[in-house]
Amino acid sequence: MSQRVLQVGIIGQGRSGRNIHGNLLAKIPGFYRIAAVADSLEERRKLAVEEYRCSTYAGWQEMVENESLDLIVNASPSHQHFPITLELLERGLHVLCEKPLAKTEEEVDRLIEASEQHGAVLAVFQQSRYMPAYVQLRKVIDSGVLGRIVQIDFANNGFSRRWDWQTLQSNHGGNLLNTGPHPLDQALQLFGNDVMPDITCIMDRANTFGDAEDYVKLLMRGPGRPTIDLEISSCSAYPRELFNVQGTNGGLRGNGNRLEWKYFKPEEAPAQQLQREPLFDDKGLPAYCKEELKWHTEEWELALPEGRTLFEHMTEQLYMMLYRTLVHGEPLEVTPQQVRRQMAVMEACRRQNPHIYQDGEDTAS
């Protein structure tokens, strides 16, 4: 029995629509086929015909009205994600939308409502959920060897100056909406999507030429939850490790290519009890707490098939998950409801930074 190949239409052939979605979908032809592309620039449409052998249109409305498509990839500019996705869902079309899905909780609620009313799948392109290092990190945490997790640091840092359209608030630019959806999605899976965290957020404009932030320090806390320290900075000349986990029995650190962790086993540790009086050594001199713990160390390194990049791996994993949803009816693993919590956190961040976002709204719109 032959396997169903989904017919895909891509809105936009910019850095996302072509370099990510187009290039990857062309490499998994047994599951997806690029049937059509919509882009306002003629040279991009000509290139799409050469690369994908597909139909092309200057506008996305014309594309969806003339093509029989199983999935629409919305890779339009960020500020167009919500209105275009809403109209597609209201037409009953399945949509995979680039991040950020929207700007507010209210917008995500409207998209979820349209998805449910019209029986259309709403998926979000948050492929970092499938980063192998993150998957391994979760396995280590879930194993319990690190004990109770006290704090988890996410550091998406580097030093860069930027002056393109994604530095403008009117375009839904800035580090929080551009980069933030990926580490925030990862962080909320570890914090828990069932409760809104207490938020402390500091944002700044450092090296950007636009009016949106390029420095974000976000702390998320809650009773019985690990403290999350999430940093997205464009002014870090000495970047920290991407991940750092602190637990009561040990810790983990690393990046997308390598992780290392160490821990002690409580049953192997010396028996200790609280001493309320000053400590003395065997010579009667003042002493400090000191013990020797037996540390166990482990490490993990990224291993991908030859010629496959990390980004291609994560993207393919998300597309295969979506294929199982569209063809076999399996539930989405990255859900709009989870993305809604991201929007709630981001709205709280904007409210706490009125010097950049007046009353939590765009100052440049």
pLDDT of residue 323: 97
The DSSP string of 278-347 is PPB-TTS-B--------EEEEEEE----TT--HHHHHHHHHHHHHHHHHHH-PPPSS-HHHHHHHHHHHH
Kindly report, residue by residue over 146-187, the tens digit of the pLDDT: 999 999 999 999 999 999 888 888 889 899 999 999 999 999
Only one residue has tokens 């998926």, namely: 123
Q: In the chain, which residue ranges form alpha helices assigned H by DSSP?
A: 23-25, 42-52, 60-66, 81-90, 105-118, 132-143, 175-178, 181-191, 310-328, 336-351
Residue 125 sits at the vertex; the CA angle it makes with 234 and 216, to the nearest 5 degrees, is: 25
Residue 193 reports pLDDT greater than 90: no
**Distance in angstroms (rounded) separating the CA atoms of residues 76 and 14:** 8
Contact predicate 344/201, CB 8 Å: no
pLDDT of residue 359: 47
> Which range, of 138-142, 269-273, 350-354, 361-365, averages the lowest pLDDT?
361-365
pLDDT of residue 1: 55
Only one residue has tokens 């450092």, namely: 206
**Distance in angstroms (rounded) separating the CA atoms of residues 357 and 365:** 11
Q: How confident is the model at residue 363 (pLDDT cuts 50, 70, 90)?
A: very low
**Distance in angstroms (rounded) separating the CA atoms of residues 246 and 257:** 20
Domains of the chain as residue ranges with CATH: 6-127+312-331 (3.40.50.720), 129-311+341-360 (3.30.360.10)
Kindly report, residue by residue over 73-93, the tens digit of the pLDDT: 999 999 999 999 999 999 999
Rounded to the nearest 10°, the torsion over CA 303, 309, 313, 314 is 110
* Beta-bridge partners for 268: none
**Distance in angstroms (rounded) separating the CA atoms of residues 346 and 187:** 13
Please give the residue that has the higher pLDDT: either 253 or 30.
253
Residue 286 reports pLDDT greater than 90: no
| Overall size of the chain counted in residues | 365
Kindly report, residue by residue over 49-72, the tens digit of the pLDDT: 999 999 999 999 999 999 999 999
What would the two tokens of residue 91 be? 């037409």
Query: At residue 122, what is the residue type?
Result: L
Cis peptide before 100 (omega within 30 of 0): yes
Residue 21 reports pLDDT greater than 90: yes
